[in-house]
Structure 1
Amino acid sequence: MTAPLAHPTPFSLTERLVGDRGQLAVFSEDSAIEGWLAAERALARAQAEVGVLSPAEAEAVCRAARLAAVDREALWRTARTVGYPVLGLVRQISGLLPEGPDGRVHYGATTQDIMDTGLALQMARSLAALDRGLGELGDALAEQVTEHAATVMAARTHGQQAVPTTFGATLATLLGQFTRHRRRLAEAEPRVAVVSLFGAGGTAAALGPHAAATRSGMARLLGLHDAETPWHVARDGVAEFGWLCALLTATCARLARNVVDLSRTEIAEVLEPGGDHRGASSTMPQKANPITSEIVIGLTGTTGALASALLRIQEAGHERAAGEWQTEWQVLPELAVAAGTALSETTALVRGLRVDARRMRANLDHDGGLLMAESRMIALAASTGRERAHGLVHEAAARTRSSGRSLTETLREVLVDQSLGALLSDVPARPDDYLGQARQMAEAAVRHWRAEPAAHPEPLAPLALLASA
Structure 2
Amino acid sequence: MTAPFRSPFSLLTQLVGDQEQLGIFAPDGCLESWLAAERALALGQAASGVIEVADAEAIVAAACAGNIDHDRLWAKARTVGYPIVGLVREIERNLSDSLVGRVHFGATTQDIMDTGLALQLSRSLSALDRRLGDLGDAIAEQTRRYAHTVMAARTHAQQAVPTTFGATLATLLAQFARHRRRLAQAHPRIAVVSLFGAGGTSAALGERAGQIRADMAERLNLYDTEMPWHADRDGVAEFGWLCATITAACAKLARNVVDLSRTEIGEVSEPYVSHRGASSTMPQKVNPISSEAIIGLSGAAGALSSSLLRLQEAGHERAAGEWQIEWHVIPQLAVLAGSALGEALTLVRGLRVDPDRMRTNLLLGGGTIMAEAQMMRLAETMGHDRAHALVYEAAARTRQRGIALTHSLREVAEEQNVLHLVPDPLITADDYLGQAVQNCARTVNAWQQTPALKVHDIAISELARERH
Aligned mate of 2:132, from 131, 134, 147: 134
Aligned mate of 2:374, from 366, 376, 379: 376
SS at match of 1:233: coil
Residue 293 of structure 2: aligned partner: 295
Aligned-partner residue type, residue 122 of structure 2: A
2:202 and 2:343 mapped to 1: Cα distance? 45
CA contact (8 A) 2:33 2:460 kept: no
2:75 and 2:85 mapped to 1: Cα distance? 11
Residue 186 of structure 2: aligned partner: 188
Aligned mate of 1:361, from 359, 370, 373: 359
Aligned-partner residue type, residue 9 of structure 1: S
Aligned mate of 1:404, from 379, 396, 402: 402
Aligned-partner residue type, residue 109 of structure 2: T
1:155 and 1:377 mapped to 2: Cα distance? 17
Residue 113 of structure 1: aligned partner: 111
In the superposition, the TM-score normalised over structure 1's length comes to: 0.98
Aligned-partner residue type, residue 355 of structure 2: A
The equivalences for 1:236-255 within 5 A come to: 236-255=234-253
Residue 445 of structure 1: aligned partner: 443
- 1:95 CA drift (Å): 2.2
Residue 453 of structure 2: aligned partner: 455
- 1:429 CA drift (Å): 2.6
Residue 95 of structure 1: aligned partner: 93
Residue 327 of structure 1: aligned partner: 325
Aligned-partner residue type, residue 50 of structure 1: S
CA contact (8 A) 1:377 1:386 kept: yes
Say if 1:103 and 1:4 are closer, same or farther in 2 by CA, change over 3 A.
closer
1:160 and 1:458 mapped to 2: Cα distance? 48
Aligned mate of 2:60, from 55, 62, 80: 62
1:291 and 1:217 mapped to 2: Cα distance? 49
Aligned mate of 1:220, from 209, 218, 221: 218
- 1:467 CA drift (Å): 4.0
Say if 1:389 and 1:115 are closer, same or farther in 2 by CA, change over 3 A.
same
CA contact (8 A) 2:64 2:461 kept: no
- 1:460 CA drift (Å): 4.3
- 1:9 CA drift (Å): 1.9
SS at match of 2:275: coil
1:348 and 1:460 mapped to 2: Cα distance? 27
CA contact (8 A) 1:396 1:411 kept: yes
Count of residue pairs the alignment pairs up? 467
Residue 429 of structure 2: aligned partner: 431
CA contact (8 A) 2:181 2:450 kept: yes
Q: Which moved more, 1:109-118 or 1:6-15?
A: 6-15
Q: Does 1:232 align with 2:260?
A: no
In the superposition, the TM-score normalised over structure 2's length comes to: 0.98
Q: Which moved more, 1:424-433 or 1:136-145?
A: 424-433
1:92 and 1:438 mapped to 2: Cα distance? 63
- 1:181 CA drift (Å): 0.5
Residue 18 of structure 2: aligned partner: 20
CA contact (8 A) 1:136 1:347 kept: yes
- 1:8 CA drift (Å): 2.2
CA contact (8 A) 1:65 1:467 kept: no
2:141 and 2:321 mapped to 1: Cα distance? 47
Give the gaps of 5 or more residues in structure 1.
Answer: none
CA contact (8 A) 2:106 2:204 kept: yes
CA contact (8 A) 1:223 1:462 kept: no
Stretches of 4+ aligned residues off by more than 6 angstroms: none
1:31 and 1:86 mapped to 2: Cα distance? 15
Deviation per residue, 1:409-433 (Å, 9 max, x gap): 0010111111110121167431000
Residue 304 of structure 1: aligned partner: 302
CA contact (8 A) 1:66 1:467 kept: no
Give the CA RMSD over aligned residues: 1.4
- 1:209 CA drift (Å): 1.5
- 1:64 CA drift (Å): 0.9
Identity of counterpart residues, as a percentage?
Answer: 62
2:178 and 2:382 mapped to 1: Cα distance? 42
2:444 and 2:426 mapped to 1: Cα distance? 29
SS at match of 2:205: helix
2:225 and 2:461 mapped to 1: Cα distance? 20
SS at match of 1:164: strand
Residue 77 of structure 2: aligned partner: 79
Deviation per residue, 1:169-211 (Å, 9 max, x gap): 0000000000000100100110010000000000000012200
2:436 and 2:302 mapped to 1: Cα distance? 32
1:429 and 1:362 mapped to 2: Cα distance? 17
Aligned-partner residue type, residue 194 of structure 1: V
2:98 and 2:42 mapped to 1: Cα distance? 14
CA contact (8 A) 1:191 1:237 kept: yes
